[in-house]
Amino acid sequence: MDYGKILKRSFEITKKYKILWIFGMLIISGGGGGIGNSGSGFSEAGNSFNASSSADQWIMDVQNFFINYWWVVLIFVIALFLFMLIGFIVSLAAKGAMFKGVDTATKGEKVKFWHHFGFGFHKFWRILGIDLLIFLIMLGILFALGLISIPFLIFFLVPVIGWIVFIMFILLAIIALFLAAALITMFINYIYCYALIEDKKIKESFRLGWDLMKENFSKTLVMALILFGVTFAFTLVALLAIFLIFVPLFIVGMVLYHSMGLWGGIITGIFALIILILFALLIKGIRNTYIISAWVLTWQELSGSITKVRNERKPRSTKAAKSAKTANKKPAKKKSSAKTKKKSVPRKSKEEE
């Protein structure tokens, strides 16, 4: 497999089909999460200006606020829940749109936003089923590790040696959990490809994805390591860009705070938070587009190689079928030759006369 060709083609798709960036931004799972979380530091810094000098007084103010404005808190919680629910639904639809859109882009066709987004909503329950099964698998692994760890808790009661054994088990459990997560990550994209691009059912998609990874484990592992390095590079570039954005904004914020007071710092903090969130979404959209493009191209090449192997096996069966047909036709030829002999006999008799 030509890894360089796949990476180059993924870059071309990411560069040309910028509409895929929107799907990448809307996908909750994937890269960019750490960048998005880094923006929370601004909100904490802005809230620190509102904090009272006395901690007890601040706690009393919070209690009074909840007592007097409990309905505001309730509305906020309900709105937050609805926002998270809508975001979850849109994220799954965007995931389906992304895989289908990348497949369309590999064919050189035009990626239409609403067409592919509608496709993602149409496949919502299938994507949800796949994600739920993956979640249950990870939950089962955690539960199994928890059961195994129960006997090792006894070692924790033994000083020094028991502590060492317990710590070693915890480290091994973390490594096992990491390897299981990495293994699932390696073939989950194959599952999405079969389910969304080839329109296979969930059970069949899991089977085909697992078989594809087993038959091409080394190639899948190499691609996973390469894309892990790409994600790490994206993270470093994003952190560097955030630092370059943060420094001038921090300086401007301090100047406005000293000149305008509290409101100057709050306005600068809100402005900085909005910029960082938008930048984080942009980086996440580009990163998800590139990574998913690489996995779709990998799936196309590996699944194509398997079909070639199966197609190479088919001529053998066709040859056998042809030989069987010729064998069945041989007796018919004998009969026809016998008839010709019978016809030739009367002709010989006429010549004798």
**What residue numbers bound the domain in which 150 lies?**
11-311
Nearest to 17 by CA among 137, 114, 98, 124: 98
- Identify whether 44 is part of a domain: yes
Q: Is 159 helix (H, G, I), strand (E, B) or coil?
A: coil
How many whole angstroms separate alpha carbon 226 and alpha carbon 232? 10
- Identify whether 3 is part of a domain: no
Q: What pLDDT, in 10s, does the model give residues 13-54?
A: 999 999 999 999 999 864 333 333 333 333 333 444 444 455
Q: How confident is the model at residue 133 (pLDDT cuts 50, 70, 90)?
A: very high
- Identify whether 342 is part of a domain: no
Note the Cα 239 to chain centre separation in Å: 22
How many whole angstroms separate alpha carbon 249 and alpha carbon 243? 10
Nearest to 254 by CA among 274, 273, 270, 268: 268
Widest distance between CA atoms in the chain: 139
Q: Give the containing element (helix H, strand E) for 73.
A: helix 70-106
How many whole angstroms separate alpha carbon 24 and alpha carbon 281? 8
Cβ–Cβ under 8 Å, residues 46 and 266: yes
- Identify whether 346 is part of a domain: no
Q: Kindly state the DSSP code that residue 193 receives in the 8-state scheme.
A: I
Report the C-alpha dihedral over residues 171, 174, 175, 180, rounded to 10 degrees: 160
- Identify whether 328 is part of a domain: no
Q: What pLDDT, in 10s, does the model give residues 70-120?
A: 787 888 889 999 999 999 999 999 999 999 999 999 998 999 999 999 999
- Identify whether 267 is part of a domain: yes
Note the Cα 161 to chain centre separation in Å: 42
What is the count of structural domains for the chain? 1
Q: What pLDDT, in 10s, does the model give residues 222-278?
A: 999 999 999 898 888 888 888 888 788 778 777 777 777 667 777 777 888 888 888
Nearest to 27 by CA among 101, 91, 88: 91
Provide the residue count of the chain.
353
- Identify whether 35 is part of a domain: yes
Say whether pLDDT at 319 is over 70: no
Cβ–Cβ under 8 Å, residues 292 and 102: yes
Cβ–Cβ under 8 Å, residues 23 and 82: no
For the chain, the average pLDDT equals: 78
pTM above 0.95? no
Q: Which two tokens stand for residue 155?
A: 């070692």
How many whole angstroms separate alpha carbon 217 and alpha carbon 6? 17
Least confident of 8-12, 81-85, 157-161: 157-161
Neighbours of 275 (CB within 10 A): 16
- Identify whether 139 is part of a domain: yes
Q: Kindly state the DSSP code that residue 249 receives in the 8-state scheme.
A: H
Q: Scanning the structure block, which residue is given the tokens 């100047």?
A: 255
Q: Kindly state the DSSP code that residue 54 receives in the 8-state scheme.
A: S
Q: Scanning the structure block, which residue is given the tokens 């936003």?
A: 113
